[in-house]
Amino acid sequence: MSNAPQSPVDWSDTPDPHDDAVSPRRVDVWSVLRVVVCVFGLLSLATWGYYAWPFPMPGLLFVIGAPLFAAVVYFLFRSSRSPIETDIVGKTIVEVALIVAAGGAWISIGHPVVGLVFVLVAATSGVVTFRRETR
C-alpha cells in the first residue's frame, strides 16, 4: 500500500518525555502560611455557622454551606487552577472579601482579637503572594 496515511507529526523532532523530569514545587514558609490561612479561614466560617445559628436546622446549613461557598468562590476566581480567567484586580477583590468574611465571623461571635489577628496575618500572606505572582 503506497498511499497509506501518515501522521502530520514528525516524531524524530519530538523530545523524549522522560528527559525532563518535573521538578517538585518549591515549599517555603510563605506557602505553608498560605495553606494555614486558607484552612483557618474555612474553619472560621464553619465555627461561625455553629455558634451564630441555632442548631440543627439553619445552623447545620451554615456550618457546611458557608465554608463550601467560600471554597467554591476561591476555586472559581482566585485559585491558580481556576477555570474562569480573572485579572489580578478581580483576584484581589475576591481574596479580600473572603478574608474580611472570615475575620468578621470571629468578630460577630465575640472574639474580635482572633478576627483582627487573622485579618492581619492573612493580609500579610496575601501581599507576599501578590508580589510573587506579579514578578
Look at residue 5 and tell me if it is in a domain: no
What confidence tens digit (pLDDT) does each residue in 94-130 have? 999 999 999 999 999 999 999 999 999 999 999 998 8
Look at residue 76 and tell me if it is in a domain: yes
List % helix, strand, coil for the chain (3-state, nearest 5). 65, 0, 35
Report the C-alpha gap between 85 and 25 in whole angstroms. Answer: 22
Look at residue 109 and tell me if it is in a domain: yes
Look at residue 50 and tell me if it is in a domain: yes
Query: What is the pLDDT, as a whole number, of residue 6?
Result: 62
Look at residue 82 and tell me if it is in a domain: yes
C-alpha cell at 135: 514578578
Look at residue 45 and tell me if it is in a domain: yes
Amino acid at 108: S
**Number of structural domains found in the chain:** 1
3-state class of 119 per DSSP?
helix
The least confident of 25-34, 65-74, 89-98, 111-120 is 25-34
Indicate the pTM of the whole model: 0.77
Could you list the residue range(s) of the whole structural domain that residue 126 is in?
39-133
* Residue 43 banded pLDDT, cuts 50, 70, 90: very high
Look at residue 22 and tell me if it is in a domain: no
